[in-house]
Structure 1
Amino acid sequence: MSQDTIDPDLAPGSVRPGGRTARVRAAVLRAAGDLLAETGYATLDLGEVAARAEVGKTTVYRRWRTPAGLVADLLVEMAETSLPHSDTGSLRGDLLENARLVGRTLTDPRQGRLFRAVIAAATSDDTAAAALRAFYDTRLAEWSPCVTAAIARGEIPPDTDPRAVLSAVSAPLYYRLLASGDPVDEAAVAAAATAAALAAEQGVFTRPTTQSAR
């Protein structure tokens, strides 16, 4: 199979194409992201995506098949292009940088609306839900070295769960975006990072130990 040929039996996001196919994918995902940010998931139409991306409608239907397939591949691209983790030399500093990255994303005029749309898709479609989980798995794996480095420095207990620490940073910020409507501002960002760091230092996020049978 040539580099620019797409196997229609492959799942969305499973191909890492080059050449013209890469340009088509970039254009389609950009158009899909724009439409999701503008009007949300409920009205996402593959034909409209194709028209905005200036590619053939059959190409979009053949490769991505459904709006959920587009969302899945969009999340793959977002994970691939996300910024790497920080290394400030301290857990509190690293978690603050993580919180600032989340805060900037959620307050960006396009990205904030896009994440709302993606989360809405995940609540109603299994494909989108699996893609969203994979996206966060990728981001948690990227930032986990910040926690393991803090363990090595003796800042936090050795059995601390990196995923639990990082989830504690982002969870209150997503709650503000999706539920309370409170601003995701610098004060909220700093509070989320500080609370997660303090909790980690106190052993709140240590993995439970398995008791031996007596």
Structure 2
Amino acid sequence: MRSEDAEPGTIRPGGRTARVRSAVLQAAGDALAEHGFAQLDLADIARRAEVGKTTVYRRWGTVTSLVADLLVDMAEQSLPRTETGSLLGDLKANARLVQRTLADPRQGALFKAVIAAATCEAKTAEALHTFYDIRVKEWAPCVQQAIERGEVPEGTDVQEVIRAVSAPLYYRLLTTGDRLDEAAADQAAEAAAAAARAGAYLRG
């Protein structure tokens, strides 16, 4: 059997399966950003991706499974952390990455749609939690390094500091409609850094 005819999931990374997955996830992200979760349709996504409907149904089965895979891919493709040598510098880099993502017309709409879907779809909620868990763990070492440098107290909850950076930015995205710019990102980072230095995130 030629590799082109193999079942999805059986070809080494970089083969046809990887190309199909990439095309389908791109199409799913576009459709999600344009129409929201409720309007997602596997047949439409297959058409957008220019792959057979059978392939999409066999590989993912449901819209929620496809969105879950999209979130896994987004977490894997996100940029690695930036280490500047200071807590504030690192947190600003994190905040600006979040800000650029949420301010992007496609990405911002996509996150709004996924967050909305997560309120009523358990599998989507689980995938969203996994996405943020991966991203928080990616950046948490920046806070651990700040502890080791003596910038913040021993016992600081490193993951909670990272969550505190992005929380105000998501709040703006979802509730206020205010412009998400670098000033907002820097303000969020400065607030989180000041709170961490003051011991606000000590465990227990």
| TM class, shorter-length | over 0.9
Q: Is the 8 A contact 1:76 1:135 kept in 2?
A: yes
Secondary structure of 1:42 counterpart: helix
- Measured at CA, do residues 24 and 135 of structure 1 come closer, stay the same or move farther in structure 2, by a change above 3 Å? same
Matched letter for residue 93 of structure 2? E
Structure 2 matches for 1:8-19, cutoff 5 A?
17-19=13-15
**Cα separation, 1, equivalents of 2:107 and 2:131:** 15
Equivalent residue for 1:136?
Answer: 132
1:63 aligns with 2:59: yes
> Matched residues in 2 for 1:48 and 1:85: separation?
35
* Match in the other structure for 1:51: 47
- The residue that corresponds to 2:107 in the other structure is 111
Identity %: 64
Q: 2:183 aligns with which of 179, 184, 187?
A: 187
Query: 2:9, 2:17 within 8 Å by CA — same for their partners in 1?
Result: no
Q: CA deviation at 1:205?
A: 0.4
Structure 1 residues 166 and 123: CA distance shift in structure 2, 3 A? same
| CA-atom RMSD in angstroms | 1.7
Q: Give ranges in structure 1 of 5+ residues lacking alignment.
A: 9-14, 209-214
Unaligned runs of 5+ in 2: none
Whole-angstrom CA distance in 1 between matches of 2:127 and 2:12: 16
Deviation at 1:6, TM superposition (A): 3.4
**Once the 2 structures are TM-superposed, how far is the Cα of residue 65 of structure 1 from its aligned partner?**
1.1
Give 1 or 2: higher helix fraction.
2
Q: Which ranges of 4 or more aligned residues in structure 1 deviate by more than 2 Å? A: 2-8, 15-18
- The one-letter code of the counterpart of 2:182 is E
| Equivalent residue pairs, number | 201
CA 1:51–1:145 in structure 2 vs 1: closer, same or farther (change >3 Å)? same
Q: Determine if contact 1:68/1:121 at 8 Å carries over to the other structure.
A: no
Matched residue type, 2:76 = E
TM-score w.r.t. the length of structure 2 is: 0.94
| Mapping 1:191-210, distance limit 5 Å | 191-208=187-204
Q: What is the distance in 2 between the residues matched to 1:71 and 1:169? A: 25
The residue type paired with residue 173 of structure 2 is: L
Report the residue type matching 2:84 in the other structure.
Answer: T
For 2:119, what is the secondary structure of its paired residue?
helix
**CA displacement 1:96-126 (0-9 Å, x = unmatched):** 0100000000001111111111112211211
